[in-house]
Chains A and B, each alone.
Chain A
């Protein structure tokens, strides 16, 4: 309820900026990780700023507005939770993704209670982070449409419906999640591990014994091609899968 209320209130200002570049602030005290995240976000065409500690982050938050903030809650000198509280005061519309190395439920609950939108446990895949950022932007409707498409295949993320060409196809929960994961990362190679972690989370070791991922992808391909569309998924030998660059 609260989110939709905020959305109504701020949508007039935010919706004007469909074509404005999404600004993301990443707060993380490990510099190498910070750099890796920054590089990935820039490749995805986001404007990315970084802060390596609470003070820098706090200054930036007071001076600029960001669409999304990625915050490590285990910052050295101050808890990231304090930073989240601060952002929520200054600009409640900023989407917040917490990253944490602590797999602690309490931290997660506290973070989400403070108004964080998502929670990622380290180590995570860059593909997963991108997917979460995009999902967050879609949910907050900053980028307008809830529809994600690739070629003539489109996914309506509100209704969870997939249309290939003109035909609506029905996918299982995992198949839907995998396809959306691909569509959120059209330019990236998705490793089997990252797909497994995406659909099963902590149960990703299921993938050790069987090629479930392969079966899921085979089914997705079958459903798409039988709807009259070309197969969009390409095997990257030994590593995983990606969406075809030359598609349509």
Chain B
């Protein structure tokens, strides 16, 4: 939910009690004023009649008053509420009555003056109109004010946020806007410091990896080339160069392994982020063909259902992903086995015959998982890392004890 929407929402909620209390207040206020006015009018009328009687000694005309009750006496004028039937529409209508007594020729006459009152429904209607009108005005202005204030006050925040969203690690550090607001100043300063630290850590990590790799590979090259020279210097029938061969193999493996680890750490560091729309069908077909000779050699039957599929991914990573999956399917296969590949816009499915594995299949996706002949399963760890990076779903299943299936759900 956006900040401004949330502000509107909360403000609207707080307007509800205001509306409720305001309505009650307004209702009683109108009613009070109506009574006040009516009473004032009736009192005025009573005084006029009293004066008229004093001057002319004549009882007021029947037409002008509601009722004249002879013989009843009120010490003080009394107001009463009553309902009278309106003959026009047959409704009971509230009236205000004023009872007062005039002594006329030694006899008491109580005169009743009456005046139409505002009905409760009329008051309620008025209240509703006032409140709704007012609320409409308040809401309109609130929206305008909130909008304006939010925009003005939060502008530096949005600028910071925008730069932060656009920031990619490895890019130059973003410059956050100047702001007079302390909180935003603190936010920007903290963010700058954090980003600086992250970037420098990232840079150090990257450099360390590269330097370590560079040195390691160079010295491995020394070991390997010298071992190779020695291997070539062995006399033709001097038995075998087992120790030399061991050194040679170990250095070869080490350098391969280190290369894979470097790749893993590069993927982890997000150094591959040049995402493009990759035609997976073409890439899968191409990858499969690089292994075709090996597949023939093993007598593996290939069953493929490769449909059009485009994924937004770094081209290099897509290649590594497919290559490692196919290589895995070939490498851990058996003579005369099968490989089944299915590529659809929603998933990729590589199934192959192989040897039964001990333990849980999911563990095979972990780094350094040991296979049948002690191979380190770094190829699948790379696959898993790429899937994690792009949030693809990855699963490894074994069924019928020796059929392996890796499924990737593109998301």
Contact = CB atoms under 8 A, between A and B. Distances in A.
A115 B110 CA distance: 125
A96 to B, nearest CB: 19
Contacts of B263: 103
B240 A191 contact: no
A32 B222 contact: yes
Contacts of A203: 290-291, 323, 327
A231 interface: no
B224 interface: yes
Contacts of B327: 203, 205-206
Interface string B215-228: 10111111111101
A197 B331 CA distance: 15
Interface in B291-336: 291, 293-294, 297-298, 316, 323, 327, 330-332
A108 to B, nearest CB: 12
Contacts of B297: 212, 215-216
A123 B224 contact: yes
Interface string A139-164: 00000000000000000000000000
Interface stretch (A10-18, A34-42, A56-64, A220-228): A34-42
User: Looking at B220, B223, B231, B375, which has the most chain A CB atoms within 10 Å of its CB?
Assistant: B231
A206 B294 contact: yes
Interface of B is mostly: helix
B262 A36 contact: no
A238 B213 contact: no
A103 B260 CA distance: 11
Interface stretch (A46-54, A87-95, A124-132): A124-132
B218 A33 contact: yes
A208 B373 contact: yes
Interface in B225-271: 225-226, 228-229, 231-232, 234, 236, 240-242, 244-245, 248-249, 251-252, 255-256, 259, 262-263
Contacts of B222: 30, 32-33, 36, 123
B231 A189 contact: yes
B221 A122 contact: yes
B245 A206 contact: no
B258 to A, nearest CB: 10
Contact of B248 (A30, A36, A187, A193): A193
B298 A210 contact: yes
B245 A40 contact: no
A32 B215 CA distance: 13
B214 interface: yes
Interface string A84-126: 0000000000000000011101000000000000000111111
Contacts of A32: 222, 226
Contacts, number: 116
Contacts of B241: 238-239
Given A101-B214, A122-B218, A39 B248 contact: no
Q: How large is the interface on B (under 10, 10 to 19, 20 to 34, 35 or more residues)?
A: 35 or more
Contact of B229 (A36, A124, A204, A210): A36
Interface residues of A, number: 44
Contacts of A193: 248-249, 252
Nearest to B354: A209
Contacts of B220: 122-123
A173 B294 CA distance: 11
B331 A209 contact: yes
A65 interface: no
A191 B331 contact: no
Interface string A166-197: 00000011100000000000011101011001
Contacts of A37: 225
A60 to B, nearest CB: 22
Contacts of A216: 297
A172 B251 contact: no
B248 A191 contact: yes
B210 interface: yes
B217 A101 contact: yes
Contacts of B242: 238
A204 B373 CA distance: 16
Given A173-B293, A238-B245, A209 B332 contact: yes
A127 B250 CA distance: 18
B228 A126 contact: yes
B10 to A, nearest CB: 52
Contacts of A237: 240
B262 A208 contact: no
A190 B15 CA distance: 86
Contacts of A33: 218, 221-222, 225
A189 B227 CA distance: 12
Given A101-B215, A123-B218, A123-B221, 6 more contacts: A102-B213, A123-B222, A123-B255, A191-B245, A197-B252, A215-B297
Interface of A: 30, 32-33, 36-37, 39-40, 74, 101-103, 105, 121-127, 172-174, 187-189, 191, 193-194, 197, 202-206, 208-210, 212, 215-216, 237-239, 245
9 contacts: A30-B221, A121-B217, A123-B218, A123-B223, A123-B255, A189-B231, A205-B256, A237-B240, A239-B245
